[in-house]
Amino acid sequence: MADQSTESEAPAEAATDSPTGSPAQPTQTLPEGFTELDRRAIDTARVLAMDAVQKVGNGHPGTAMSLAPLAYLLFQKWIKHDPSDPNWVARDRFVLSPGHTALTLYTQLYFSGYGLELDDLKALRTWGSKTPGHPEVGHTTGVETTTGPLGQGVGNAVGMAMAARRERGIWDPATAAGDESLFDHTIWAIASDGDLEEGISSEASSLAGTQQLGNLVLVYDDNKISIEDDTTIAFTEDVAKRYEAYGWHVQHVSDGEDLAAVDAALAAAKAETGRPSLVVLRTIIGWPSPNKQNTGAAHGSALGDDEVAATKRVLGFDPEQTFEVSDEVIAHTRTVIERGRAARAEWQPRFDAWQAANADQAALFDRMRTRTLPEGWADALPTFDADPKGMATRKASGAVLAAIYPELPELWGGSADLAESNNTAVEGEPSFLPTSRQTKTWSGGPFGRTLHFGIREHAMGSIMNGIALHGGTRVYGGTFLTFSDYMRPAVRLAALMQLPVTYVWTHDSIGLGEDGPTHQPIEHLAALRAIIGLDVVRPADANETAVAWRTILEHSDRPAGIILSRQNLPVVDRTEFASAEGTAKGAYVLAEASTGTPEVILMSTGSEVQIAVAAREQLEAAGTPTRVVSVPCQEWFAEQDQSYRDEVFPPAVKARVSIEAAIAMGWRDFVGDAGRIIGLDHYGASAAYTKLYEEFGLTAEAVVAAARESIQAASSGAGLAAGGDVVGGLTQRTGDQ
C-alpha cells in the first residue's frame, strides 16, 4: 500500500477512492509484531474521541477517529520518547499542526502514561482541565507546542529540525555531519488539508527542502474534507508534486487503516536522512461512523448520540457505555513507558562519556538547558561615544551582535533576505546551510550560525518559535517593521507560549524616507504593543540599543521586538544627559528640568527623542522648566514599582506631550487629559526623511506649541482639546500650531 515516490516518479492515485470519488472500504492490516490487542487500542482511541466530544457538546471527533491508527503507531513504535522523563534531551519531537484534533494527541498521551487519565479526557474543553480545545505547551505534559492556527505547527516543526541540527553542532562538533551523534533525533509532525492550504506551510516547507532537513518527517492527512465539506471547492493541487519540487522525499499511503503500509512508509521516511520526508496518507474522516464518515459533519461537531452508538456497534463496543477502556488495553499501551526508559538507559552512558570528555561543551549544555547567561557576558557590550552626526540604531544593533557573539554561542539568527538592511549577519560567522547550498557570498555548513530565511516573514516567525521550543538557543530574525504584519500570527503565538525569541524590526518609521508609504510603518507600534506578553523596544540612540539588547537577552520568558532606525540618530552625550542604563526600566528621565521641578514633561521614543530634546532647549530658553523622558519600552516601564513610575512622571505634573512618528493610540494613558499627543493620523509619503518630518509636523516647534497648549490646559483644567489626540500631520486640528 505504500508507494515510495521520488521526484522523478508520478504520484500514485489514492487506491481508496472509487470512480465516483467516495472512499472504498479500507484494508485493515497490522505490521509485524502487532496484534489484535493493538487494533482494539486503536478502536478505543476512536471511541474516546467520540465520547469526549459528545460529553462536552463541541469539538472535532472525525480526524481523531481517522488518525487513530497513525498516532498509535507513532507513539507506540516510532517516536523515541520516555514518558517518565518528558524533557529528555534526546527525545524525538511530535508536532500536531492541526490543533483542532487535539484528541489525536491527548488519547496517545493518556495511553502512553504522560499523566493524563480518563477523567482528563472526560473534561475535554472545560475550565481548568488538562485537555483544552487545542494543545497548549506548558499546560499539558507531552505537548511540545501550542497549535491551532493552521500552518503554524508545520513552521514549528521546521524550526525544531533546524534547532536540532544547530544544537548538535554546538554540543558535538567533533562528530561530522552524516555520522551518528548521541544528540540526533527526529521531528515528527502531522499536517491537515487546512495546514497545507495556509501559505505559511509553503514558506516553511520550501525552506526545509533547501536546508535538506533529513531529521523531519511530515505526515499529510489527506482526507479531502474541511468545515465546508469536500475540499474540491477550494484545494485541488497535487500536494505531492509540490513537495517533490521543494526537494522533499515523498511517499503515498493510499489507505490510512492499513497499518502495515503506514509502518513501512514511516520506516522509509526515517531512513531518509538527506532531505525532509512527506508521507501523503489518505484517510476517511470519521471512520467508521456509518452515516457521517467522509463528511464535513464529522469535522467540527459532535456526532450525536445515535451516530456514536451506531459507530460503537461497528467497532464492537457496548453502545450503552461511555469512555470504555479495558484494563488489558491500557496495560498494553503503557508498556511504552518501559521501552522509553530502556532507550534512555541505553543512551545515558554514551552521554556520560561525552560529558566527561567534553568539559566545555558539557558546561555549555547545562547552561543552555536552563537558558542561563554566562557570568560577565555583558562586559562585552560596546559603548558608543557621543556623536551629534550619529549612528542608525540598526547599525548599532549590528555592532552589539558582533561584540556579544563570542560570549554567547547559543545566540544565532538572520533575516528575511534583508541582512544588509537589518544588520543581522555578523561578519565572519558561517551560514547555516547544507554544503551544497553555499555561495560566494554566504559560506558555512550544516551547523552554521547565520540564518537565511528568504523572503518568508510569516514562516520566519513560526520557525523561530520552533527553534525556541526545541531547546536553549536564543534566536533572532529581522525584517522591516512594516512587514511585521506578515508574521503577526507567529508573534502572537510566541507571546502566548512565552518564548524568548527576538524580532529585529528595522526601518521603524517615516524616517526610512524615499521608499514611501508602503514601507513606512504608522500603526505598527500600537498594534504590536497590543500583543499581551510582547516587549516592544524602540531605543533612541546607540547606547540605548546596547542596553536594550542586554535586557532582552536577560529575559527568558517572553518575546521581544527591537525597533530600529534606518537613518542616523545622534548618539546622546551621556556626560550631559542621563545614563542609557535607564533603558532597562522602560522609561527614564533623560534630561531634567533646570529647576529640578518640571512644568511640562516631554516624552518620546526612538528617533523622535532628539526632537523632544531640541524642544526642551527652546522651552528652557523661554523660562519653562522642561523634563524629557525617553520611553523605549512601555512594557518594561509597566513592570516597575509605582514609586519609580511616579518619580519619572510625577502625578502633580499634568502638562505633558508625547512625540512618536506613529498613531496616537496608547499615549493618552501617559499624557493624561491635559496632555497633548504629537503623532500621525495618516500614511507617509516618498521623500527625504527630513522633509517628511517637517511636512508632517514632527518638529521641535510643534512640540513647543503643544507643550504650551498642555500647560494652559493643565492650569485651567480644560482637559482634552476638541477634535482628537493628534497634533501635527497633514490635517490640523483647531488650535494646533
pLDDT in tens, 671-728: 999 999 999 999 999 999 999 999 999 999 999 999 999 999 999 987 765 445 566 5
What CATH number does the domain containing 625 carry? 3.40.50.920
Residue 599 lies inside a defined structural domain of this protein: yes
CA–CA dist 249, 276 (Å, integer): 6
* One-letter amino acid for residue 424 of the chain: T
555 marked among binding-site residues: no
CA distance 39 to 469: 33
Instruction: Answer yes or no: is 365 a known binding residue.
Output: no
d(CA 605, CA 524): 14
Task: From 339, 366, 386, give the residue that closes a domain.
Answer: 339
- 299 annotated as ligand-binding: yes
- Is the domain of 330 the same as that of 429? no
Residue 535: domain span: 377-570
CA-nearest of 604, 625, 606, 586 to 703 is 604
Give the sheet arrangement for strand 187-192, strand by strand: 2-3, 249-253, 277-282, 216-222, 187-192, 93-96
C-alpha dihedral, 196 to 198 to 199 to 205, nearest 10°:
-30
Say if residue 507 carries a ligand binding annotation: yes
Task: Give the pLDDT score at 628.
Answer: 98
- Does the annotation flag 632 for ligand binding? no
Do 595 and 563 lie in one domain? The reply is: no
Strand partners, 282: 222
Same domain, 608 and 696: yes
Domain termination residue (choose one: 317, 339, 361): 339
Written as one string, the DSSP assignment of 346-400 is HHHHHHHHHHHH-HHHHHHHHHHHTTPPPTTGGGG------EEEEE-HHHHHHHH
566 annotated to bind ligand: yes
Instruction: Tell me which of 457, 544, 599, 608 is the catalytic residue.
Output: 457
Question: Does residue 287 belong to any structural domain of this protein?
Answer: yes
Same domain? 210 vs 334: yes
Q: Tell me whether residue 69 is in a domain.
A: yes
> What is d(CA 679, CA 600) in angstroms, rounded to the nearest whole number?
18
For the chain, how many structural domains are there in total? Answer: 3
319 occurs within a structural domain: yes
Task: Tell me: do 619 and 538 sit in the same domain.
Answer: no
Residues of the chain with pLDDT under 50: 1-21, 722-723, 730-737
Question: What does the buried/exposed string (b/e) look like for 502-513 if buried means 16 or more CB atoms within 10 Å of the residue's CB?
Answer: bbbbbbbbbbbb
637 in a known ligand binding site: no
Annotated binding residue at 150? yes
519 is known to lie in a ligand binding site: yes
452 labelled ligand-binding: no
Are both 494 and 633 inside the same structural domain? no
Considering the domain architecture, whether residues 651 and 701 belong to the same structural domain is answered as yes
In a domain? residue 199: yes
The annotation status of 193 as a binding-site residue, yes or no, is: yes
Residue 114 lies in a domain: yes
Distance between CA atoms of residues 448 and 112, nearest Å: 36
Q: Let me know whether 480 and 526 are in one domain.
A: yes
The verdict on residue 351 lying in a domain is: no
Same domain, 295 and 394: no
Cα separations in angstroms, 618 against 611, 614, 658: 11, 7, 16
What local confidence, expressed as pLDDT, does residue 18 receive?
38
Q: CATH number for the domain including 545?
A: 3.40.50.970
User: Do 284 and 417 belong together in one domain?
Assistant: no
Task: Give a yes or no: residue 618 inside a domain.
Answer: yes
- Whether residue 457 lies in the annotated active site: yes
Domain boundary among 501, 535, 570: 570
Q: What one-character DSSP code corresponds to residue 312?
A: H
* 543 lies in the same domain as 396: yes
Q: What is residue 299's three-state secondary structure? A: coil
For residue 74, give the DSSP letter. I
Angle (nearest 5°) at CA 527 between 401 and 420: 30
Any binding-site annotation on 563?
Answer: no
Residues 92, 222 within the same domain: yes
